[in-house]
A and B are shown apart, each in its own frame.
Chain A
Amino acid sequence: MSITLQACAQCGARQYPPRDLCRVCLADALGSVEETGEGRLIVSAIVHRSLEPDFAGDLPLRIGTVHLACGLRIIAFVDAGLADGAPVRLRQEAGRDGAALWYAGALETGA
Chain B
Amino acid sequence: MAVQPFDGVAVVAPTTVRYARHSDKPAHWWVGRALHDVIAAAGITKQEVDGLALSSFTMGPDTTIAMTEHFDMAPRWIEWLPTGGASGVMALRRAARAVQAGDASIVACIGADTANPASFAELVRNFSRFSDTAVRPYGAPGPNGMFALITANYMARFGATRADFGAIAMAQRANAEGNPNALLGGKPLSLEQYLAAPAIVEPLHLFDCVMPCAGAEAFLVMSEERARALGLPHAVIRGSIERHNAYFDEPVAVRAGWAMDRDSLYAQAGVGPEAMDCLEVYDDYPVIVAMQLEDLGFCAKGEAAKFLRHNSLTIDGALPVNTSGGQLSCGQAGAAGGFLPVVEALRQITGQTLGRRVPGARLALASGYGMVTYDRCLATAAAVLEGRV
Contacts and interface: CB of A to CB of B under 8 A. Distances in A.
A24 B251 CA distance: 17
Interface residues of B, number: 36
Contacts, number: 101
A55 B149 contact: no
Contacts of B152: 43-45, 84
A61 interface: yes
A49 B375 CA distance: 18
B142 to A, nearest CB: 5
A51 B374 contact: no
Interface in A66-81: 67, 71, 73-77
A59 B145 CA distance: 13
Interface size class for chain A?
Answer: 20 to 34
Contact of A67 (B121, B124, B251): B251
A17 B133 contact: yes
B149 A45 contact: yes
Given A43-B156, A74-B134, A48 B200 contact: yes
B308 interface: no
A59 B139 CA distance: 8
Interface string A52-94: 1011001101011101000101111100000011000000000
B137 interface: yes
B138 A51 contact: no
Given A43-B156, A45-B152, A47-B201, A65 B134 contact: no
Interface of B: 120-121, 124-125, 129-130, 133-142, 144-146, 148-149, 152-153, 156, 198-204, 249, 251-252, 374-375
Interface of A: 16-18, 42-52, 54-55, 58-59, 61, 63-65, 67, 71, 73-77, 84-85, 95, 99, 101
